[in-house]
Amino acid sequence: MAKLVVRSFTMSLDGFTSAPNQSLESPFGEGGLAIMDWALATRTFKKMFGKEGGTTGIDDTFAAKADEGVGATIMGRNMFGPIRGPWLNEDWKGWWGANPPYHHPVFVLSKYPRQSIPMQGGTTFHFVTEGIEVALEKAYDSAKGKDVRIGGGATVVRQYLRAGLIDELHLVITPKLLGSGERLFDGTDKVVKRYEYTEFIASEAAAHVRLVKRK
């Protein structure tokens, strides 16, 4: 049965998944990209960006499995780009260039409608204004029996947590301190009781925790 999953979702040691002041130059906010050091060093990520080399081992194994069995992705407007408010034009097509790394349908939650954007490599960005449930329904239909992954950010993950729709979370805790930003579990005190951890593995760069919904 297809599941709604969160994978390789990274947070700092003090619980932040991004830093303030996101911009074109700083997708994770000012200084926020530091929490992704564990991933950027892996062979999987270097290959994704057309580079050779990279680390192997625990971190690379989790990075390689992040999209395994996934047929569609859901993300928030801020993860798609730093633009706020109505779409003034259609020039912005994401951070990832002409060939994004998804290679399947991606559903972007937005308050403002926009035409779908077909990209190279099989990725198409669809914009959903009707809320998280409609986005999930569309994603499951497009995934054709595969899992649906929530790409982020924290606000979107929290919405699906509160709705009780997430089946599995893989969180990556890095030894970085951001000091401020957006926290994943703010306002989810009752929700997190639905989950239990089934895996905890640490590398030199990060700790990987897998949470699954209690049966």
Tell me: the pLDDT tens digits for 175-206?
999 999 999 998 888 777 899 999 999 999 99
Structural contact between residues 29 and 195, judged by C-beta atoms closer than 8 angstroms: no
As a CATH number, domain 4-82+99-203 is 3.40.430.10
| Cα 198 → chain centroid | 20
| pLDDT value of residue 68 | 95
Cα 84 from Cα 203, distance rounded (Å): 37
**CB neighbour list of residue 99: distance below 8 Å, 6 or more residues apart:** 119, 120, 121, 123
CA distance 140 to 147: 7
| Residue from 102, 154, 161 nearest 126 by CA | 102
Which regions of the chain are under pLDDT 70?
A: none
- Global pTM reads 0.94
pLDDT at 90: 86
pLDDT confidence of residue 215? 83
The per-residue pLDDT for 192 is 76
